[in-house]
Amino acid sequence: MQRRLFLSIPFAVGLGAQSTPKPKLDVPYVPTTEKAVQEMLKLAQVKKTDLLYDLGCGDGRIVIAAAKNYGARGVGIDIDPQRIQEARANAKAAGVESLVRFEEKDLFQAEFRDATVVTLFLLPSINLKLKPKLLEQLKPGTRLVSNTFDMGDWKSEKVVNLETYEDPEFYGLSQTLYLWTIPAKH
């Protein structure tokens, strides 16, 4: 039986002049399912002493869950100002503003050297483009968890397959999670 993957990617039709130009997005906004958020945090073995960075954080759900459920500090990075505004509002509503912050930045311009855990839900091409920066910036032992997409020839240490059908519109996404640990520098 062949599985088909459907993505619902919102788009805007010109409705007059906008005051601020929209940033160019390399990845469409597709939220991680709640089940996948919880499993990603378990896979990374998040604890209170961690500093989690979510690259392409969207509405902030992974960073917020890490703070709320584990007491971890977190930083979400996203290029889309609308998502950052939404993430900040969500953090306030969840009561974790003191543990998290959200930065409106291009992932390739961001610094995340202090992270002990990094999460991402990007496209394969972006994962591969980001890989050298991850290996350069992150300390050995930092855990990296990717939702849905791997890192090409960088073999993951663990793969978790979820049985989740929370949103049939995104069938096939948020079902496979990958874990890597940043190796010692040679």
Angle at 162 between CA 44 and CA 82, to 5 degrees: 70
Asked whether the beta carbons of 7 and 121 are under 8 A apart, the reply is no
The answer on pLDDT for 158 being more than 80 is yes
pLDDT for position 166: 56
Q: Domains of the chain (ranges plus CATH)?
A: 34-181 (3.40.50.150)
Q: Mean of the pLDDT values across residues 103-131?
A: 95
Radius of gyration of the chain (CA): 16
Q: For residue 58, how many C-alpha atoms fall within 13 Å in the half-sphere facing its CB?
A: 15
